[in-house]
């Protein structure tokens, strides 16, 4: 498990095991218990994990031939799959059991399957040139088969309100169907010069994306059927396409062993193709619902990428399938992935080793270390603050409530006895750091942009800086407003400390650029703060990680 989670560390330099891997190993693992020494190596307050959490949750057997397509229901409770055995199967995501008898009706291989937007129907496309719509509860067909394509149907999709069905075919056309009547809503979308392997709707249903054997990705207007763009760059057939959740970009996977990210406003490739890790054709790509991750399949491995940086965001998922993976999809909450393979199985994976957010407001926005090094205060999007013991990693108290917006900034007084918080509601509060009692506020701060708060050097004043160049000051004891002055707008009021996390996950000494340690791909850093001997890291999941270093930095 260690080599699966940290292969880039071990391959780049064996000594990284001590500086980067060892502090993040499960506390009950043999490696940690044998080699962990906080007097010589970095360590995490409270330990990072208690035990390994295997990413492979379930292997589902039932199909008699290869599995072509998998998809989650909108509520994430079910998974649907289809394959060359002509059946469609519905699985319980938690238990892995089949929810009902297989759906049968197609006369040949079933290439693609998906749920309707409300989860009440299933749409499937087959080599028999038909699209079929199924009732999830009764198992029967809701419509007569949708006929019109002159070739195998490789891909189907449902739009955001369930009113339309989309299909791509070996006849080189894309077709749009009325989901109530089963009739075609528009003339066939023509332009591709090869099989159409993949189609999808934009999140608002106004645009269509298609990927083809002709090596192009095409963007269409879903209302007029007009061709909006032809995206070129792949050197092989485009097997899978997907819109980002905000609809501003798209990704595609190809037989050329790359995935590409496209800017749909400029109709151009956003950056160089991501190909270094793939060892074969990319047959499936999928965005997580938050837009931060992209899953791609190549061979019998699933790769998970950071959609912003193009780096791997998670260790590759392997060991579940023994043959090529044809399809992979994120669950709506981003915590799971379902995959279907030539080995006739469906696998369910856990992608939350660092714990993805249970709630959308879990993300930390602000951190501060106490000057005496014993405490870390965190502020979150959920409007609350919490105090942590920097040595044990335990929560001292919280949640504290006093603001009506996300917490944007926190800072301790010089003697560590108090801390100040600033929030999106443009208010400032002062708290007793020992008891968690609010002693001042809410004080009305700047009304423009984000604010950053701090105590004066002598602890007698509290200040709040705004993006428009104003700094407000109050008496730290009485709350009396003192003055407004202007500060340079290109000068940040925020203090993060001598250590920071770089875009490629290195913990760096700011003054020298020296690399101190490196974080694994499972940790998505949102905010940091540090002092000479430790760094506090707020992750995408809302988790706080406090890492200590035996030798301080300047």
Supply φ then ψ for residue 52, to 5 degrees.
-65, 140
Percent helix, percent strand, percent coil in the chain, to nearest 5: 5, 45, 50
Q: Write b or e for each residue in 441-460: b if 16 or more Cβ atoms lie within 10 A of its Cβ, otherwise e.
A: bbbebbeeebbbbbbeeeee
- Please state the rounded mean pLDDT for residues 34-46: 71
Cα 376 to Cα 55, 479, 508, 546, distances in angstroms: 31, 24, 20, 9
Res 299 pLDDT > 80: yes
- Which pLDDT does position 516 carry in this prediction? 82
Do 209 and 83 reside in the same domain of the chain? yes
The DSSP result for 135-190, as a single string, is ETTT-SBSS--EE--SS-EEEEEE-TTSSEEEEEETTSEEEEEETTT--BSS--EE
Q: What span, in angstroms and rounded, lies between the C-alpha atoms of 90 and 113?
A: 11
Which structural domain range is residue 387 located in? Answer: 358-495
Report helix, strand or coil for 454: strand
Mean residue pLDDT across the chain: 86
Do 383 and 283 reside in the same domain of the chain? no
In a domain? residue 42: no
- Which pLDDT does position 9 carry in this prediction? 47
The last residue of a domain, from among 350, 367, 388: 350
- Residue 268, domain CATH: 2.130.10.10
Q: What span, in angstroms and rounded, lies between the C-alpha atoms of 170 and 164?
A: 20
Residue 295: name the closest of 338, 263, 324 by CA: 338
Cα 40 to Cα 18, 35, 553, distances in angstroms: 9, 10, 15
- Which pLDDT does position 489 carry in this prediction? 44
- Which pLDDT does position 526 carry in this prediction? 77
Confidence band, pLDDT 50/70/90 cuts, at residue 355: very low
Q: What span, in angstroms and rounded, lies between the C-alpha atoms of 350 and 203?
A: 25
Given a contact cutoff of 8 angstroms between Cβ atoms, the answer to whether 388 and 375 are in contact is yes
Q: What span, in angstroms and rounded, lies between the C-alpha atoms of 209 and 267?
A: 12
Q: What span, in angstroms and rounded, lies between the C-alpha atoms of 328 and 127?
A: 20
Do 101 and 244 reside in the same domain of the chain? yes
Do 305 and 199 reside in the same domain of the chain? yes
Q: What span, in angstroms and rounded, lies between the C-alpha atoms of 167 and 184?
A: 11
In a domain? residue 22: no
Residue 297: name the closest of 258, 264, 250, 331 by CA: 258
In a domain? residue 249: yes
In a domain? residue 181: yes
Residue 327: name the closest of 311, 305, 313, 345 by CA: 345
Confidence band, pLDDT 50/70/90 cuts, at residue 70: very high
**How many other C-beta atoms lie within 10 A of the C-beta of residue 267?**
12
The DSSP result for 199-258, as a single string, is EEE-TTSSEEEEEETTSEEEEEETTT--EEEEEE--SS-EEEEEE-TTSSEEEEEETTS-
Do 207 and 107 reside in the same domain of the chain? yes
**How many other C-beta atoms lie within 10 A of the C-beta of residue 253?**
32
Mean pLDDT check: name the lowest of 97-101, 110-114, 390-394, 499-503: 499-503
Query: What total number of domains does the chain contain?
Result: 2
Do 100 and 207 reside in the same domain of the chain? yes
Pairing of strands 146-147, 130-135: antiparallel
In a domain? residue 518: no
Do 363 and 337 reside in the same domain of the chain? no
Res 505 pLDDT > 90: no
Cα 117 → chain centroid: 21
**How many other C-beta atoms lie within 10 A of the C-beta of residue 536?**
26
- Please state the rounded mean pLDDT for residues 203-210: 96
Do 301 and 365 reside in the same domain of the chain? no
Q: What span, in angstroms and rounded, lies between the C-alpha atoms of 325 and 345?
A: 10
- Please state the rounded mean pLDDT for residues 391-400: 90
In a domain? residue 505: no
Global pTM value: 0.63
In a domain? residue 10: no
Do 276 and 400 reside in the same domain of the chain? no
The last residue of a domain, from among 495, 512, 539: 495
In a domain? residue 545: no
Given a contact cutoff of 8 angstroms between Cβ atoms, the answer to whether 77 and 90 are in contact is no
Do 365 and 223 reside in the same domain of the chain? no
Structure tokens, 466: 């705004």
Do 272 and 404 reside in the same domain of the chain? no
Do 437 and 329 reside in the same domain of the chain? no
Confidence band, pLDDT 50/70/90 cuts, at residue 317: confident
**How many other C-beta atoms lie within 10 A of the C-beta of residue 350?**
16
Report helix, strand or coil for 33: helix
Residues of the chain with pLDDT > 70: what percent? 83
Dihedral angle at the C-alpha atoms of 182, 240, 128, 186, nearest 10 degrees? 30
The last residue of a domain, from among 316, 350, 384: 350
């Amino acid at each position: 498990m260690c080599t699966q989670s940290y292969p880039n560390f071990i391959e780049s330099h064996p000594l990284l095991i001590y500086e980067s891997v060892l502090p993040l190993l499960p506390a009950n693992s043999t490696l940690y218990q044998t080699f962990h020494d906080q007097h010589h190596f970095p360590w995490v307050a409270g330990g990072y994990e208690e035990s390994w959490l295997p990413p492979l949750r379930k292997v589902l057997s039932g199909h008699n031939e290869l599995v072509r397509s998998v998809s989650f229901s909108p509520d994430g409770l079910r998974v649907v799959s289809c394959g060359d055995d002509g059946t469609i199967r519905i699985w319980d995501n938690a238990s892995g059991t089949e929810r009902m008898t297989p759906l049968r009706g197609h006369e040949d291989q079933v290439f693609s399957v998906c749920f309707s937007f409300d989860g009440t129907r299933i749409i499937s496309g087959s080599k028999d040139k038909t699209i079929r719509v199924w009732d999830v509860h009764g198992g029967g067909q809701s419509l007569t088969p949708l006929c019109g394509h002159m070739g195998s149907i490789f891909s189907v999709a449902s739009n955001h309100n369930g009113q339309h069905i989309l299909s791509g075919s070996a006849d080189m056309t894309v077709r749009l169907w009325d989901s109530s009547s089963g009739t075609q809503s528009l003339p066939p979308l023509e332009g591709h010069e090869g099989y159409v392997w993949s189609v999808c709707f934009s999140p608002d249903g106004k645009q269509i994306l298609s990927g083809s054997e002709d090596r192009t990705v095409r963007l269409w207007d879903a209302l007029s059927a007009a061709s909006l763009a032809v995206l070129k760059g792949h050197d092989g057939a485009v097997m899978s396409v997907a819109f980002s959740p905000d609809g501003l970009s798209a990704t595609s996977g190809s037989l050329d062993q790359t995935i590409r990210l496209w800017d749909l406003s400029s109709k151009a490739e956003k950056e160089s193709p991501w190909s270094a890790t793939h060892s074969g054709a990319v047959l499936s790509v999928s965005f997580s619902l938050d837009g931060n991750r992209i899953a791609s399949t190549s061979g019998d491995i699933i790769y998970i990428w950071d959609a912003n940086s193009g780096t791997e965001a998670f260790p590759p998922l392997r060991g579940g399938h023994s043959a090529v993976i044809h399809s992979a999809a994120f669950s709506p909450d981003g915590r799971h992935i379902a995959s279907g393979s030539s080995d006739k199985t469906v696998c369910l994976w856990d992608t939350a080793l660092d714990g993805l957010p249970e709630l959308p407001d879990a993300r930390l926005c602000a951190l501060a270390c106490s000057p005496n090094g014993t405490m870390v205060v965190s502020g979150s999007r959920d409007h609350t603050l919490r105090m942590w013991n920097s040595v044990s990693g335990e929560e001292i108290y919280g949640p504290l409530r006093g603001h009506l917006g996300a917490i944007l900034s926190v800072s301790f007084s010089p003697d560590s006895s108090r801390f100040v918080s600033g929030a999106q509601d443009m208010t400032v509060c002062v708290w007793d750091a020992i008891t968690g009692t609010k002693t001042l506020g809410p004080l009305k701060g700047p009304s423009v942009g984000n604010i950053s708060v701090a105590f004066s050097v002598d602890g007698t004043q509290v200040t709040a800086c705004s993006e428009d160049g104003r700094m407000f000051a109050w008496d730290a004891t009485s709350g009396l407003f003192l003055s407004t002055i202007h500060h340079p707008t290109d000068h940040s009021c925020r203090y993060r400390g001598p250590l920071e996390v770089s875009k490629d996950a290195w913990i760096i000494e700011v003054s020298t650029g020296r690399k101190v340690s490196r974080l694994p791909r499972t940790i998505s850093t949102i905010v940091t703060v540090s002092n000479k001997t430790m760094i506090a890291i707020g992750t995408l999941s809302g988790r706080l990680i406090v890492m200590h270093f035996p030798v301080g930095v300047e």
